[in-house]
Structure 1
Amino acid sequence: MKFSLPQLPYATDALEPHISKRTLEFHYGMHHQTYVNNLNNLVPGTKFENADLETIIKEADGSIYNNGAQVWNHTFYFSSLSPNGGNAPTGPLAQAIDEAFGSFGAFREKFSQAATTLFGSGWAWLVKNRNGKLEIIKESNAGNPMRNGMIPILTCDVWEHAYYLDYQNRRPDYIEEFWNCVDWDIVGKRF
């Protein structure tokens, strides 16, 4: 199976001023594309030659896992964002967040804390755990919660390439701006 870089659902300047066009050109256009290219170079002749990304995430190790998970994680992240983002979730997701965390404000604070305190590079995730309850987890590097039987609902990329051009080493500033871009309609459909 040949993997390709999915189209962004918005223009590269659409998330400004929260995430700049320059950051998206590097993050999406170069980093995400590199993971796609690497994966396409790694899978020929392996048992993953015709596998989809979910199978790679659940079964592969090493470079194939790392690049496959990064393709999936980035696609999921970029598709969670919108120039019309922000606000708060509604409907069943909002109710589940209130149940699990007490309020949307409390959830946002806990999620931001997880994203801020993840050591090194990786991802903060809102997931539905094996019991069907919402949970916030941190995954280092290319970590993906599907590998542990969880269902991803939302993620924030906290690799430096996601924010360094706009915020340098100020990860908390980037995370604060991330909330202005979250498309809760899309995230709610995942729930």
Structure 2
Amino acid sequence: MNEHYPFVNLPLPYPYDALEPYIDTQTMYLHHDRLQQRYVANLNGILSNYPQLQNKSLEELLSNTESLPSEVRQSIINNAGGVYNHTIYFFGMTNSMTRTQAEVLYPAIMQYFGTIEQFFDEFKKYALAIFGSGYAWLVVDSNGALKIVTTPNQNSPISDGLCVVAGIDCWEHAYFLKRFNDRAAYIEDWFHVVSWEAADERYKACVNAKS
């Protein structure tokens, strides 16, 4: 994750075509190199005028939004959220041929959702219910429990005190070139490329932070 201003658009951890046939090459290129780059540039432009914020990480900016200057608060939420959310999304996927199992997260999913299939069904229901643009997230709440939440636009769960395990970008730009307006098909595609290893590491970090 980016440490502080000036933020950079971190390179993808895989080639643009690595997620084919589920996430197409052109979408990955445009999503990362154009859209994500815009959020990075916008955020740096805002923070260039606020030296008191330049040593803060994305997490620090988003975890205490009420402390941000009122005149740029929403712009920072939008753009820092765009950088943070996309980073979780991009780094939370992998080539399906190299995925590994989640040794700690899988039992937790079974505990809270019953079966992996029930978790998939519940997660898909939440992702489909988003009106307009937003994200669906698997998070750990303040009690250490796994739950599914959604956020609109580029809002982030960490602004609500939640710890992110995994998330799917449900803006149409994430899937329109391949799936047009068929979000359900895109969600199914995403399930094929989720990095359970990355999600497992994030889940363990969330649990450790709560203990």
- Same fold per TM (> 0.5)? yes
Query: What is the RMSD computed on CA atoms of the aligned residues?
Result: 1.5
Given the two structures, how large is their TM-score scaled by the length of structure 1? 0.96
Note closer, same or farther for the CA distance 1:19–1:118 as it changes in structure 2 (3 Å cut). Answer: same
Q: Which moved more, 1:140-149 or 1:126-135?
A: 140-149
Unaligned runs of 5+ in 1: none
Aligned amino acid, residue 153 of structure 1:
V
1:168 aligns with 2:172: no
Note closer, same or farther for the CA distance 1:96–1:107 as it changes in structure 2 (3 Å cut). Answer: same
Aligned to 2:136: 124
Within the candidate set 52, 56, 68, 1:51 is matched to 56
1:86-165 aligned at under 5 Å gives the runs: 89-165=101-177
1:3 aligns with 2:7: yes
Aligned amino acid, residue 92 of structure 2:
S
Given the two structures, how large is their TM-score scaled by the length of structure 2? 0.87
Once residues 25 and 159 of structure 1 are traced to their aligned partners in structure 2, the CA distance between those partners, rounded to angstroms, is: 16
1:28 aligns with 2:40: no
Sequence identity percentage? 36
Unaligned runs of 5+ in 2: 66-72, 204-211
CA contact (8 A) 2:138 2:146 kept: yes
Aligned amino acid, residue 15 of structure 1:
L
Q: Which moved more, 1:40-49 or 1:126-135?
A: 40-49
Aligned amino acid, residue 16 of structure 2:
T
Once residues 87 and 38 of structure 1 are traced to their aligned partners in structure 2, the CA distance between those partners, rounded to angstroms, is: 34
Within the candidate set 18, 38, 41, 1:37 is matched to 41
Once residues 119 and 99 of structure 2 are traced to their aligned partners in structure 1, the CA distance between those partners, rounded to angstroms, is: 13
Secondary structure of the structure 2 residue equivalent to 1:10? coil
The total of aligned residue pairs comes to 191
Within the candidate set 53, 58, 63, 2:75 is matched to 63
CA contact (8 A) 2:77 2:155 kept: no
Residue 91 of structure 1 and its aligned partner are, at CA, apart by 2.0
Residue 148 of structure 1 and its aligned partner are, at CA, apart by 1.1
Note closer, same or farther for the CA distance 1:79–1:139 as it changes in structure 2 (3 Å cut). Answer: same
The runs of at least 4 consecutive aligned structure 1 residues that moved more than 3 Å come to 85-90
Once residues 161 and 115 of structure 2 are traced to their aligned partners in structure 1, the CA distance between those partners, rounded to angstroms, is: 26
Aligned amino acid, residue 8 of structure 1:
L
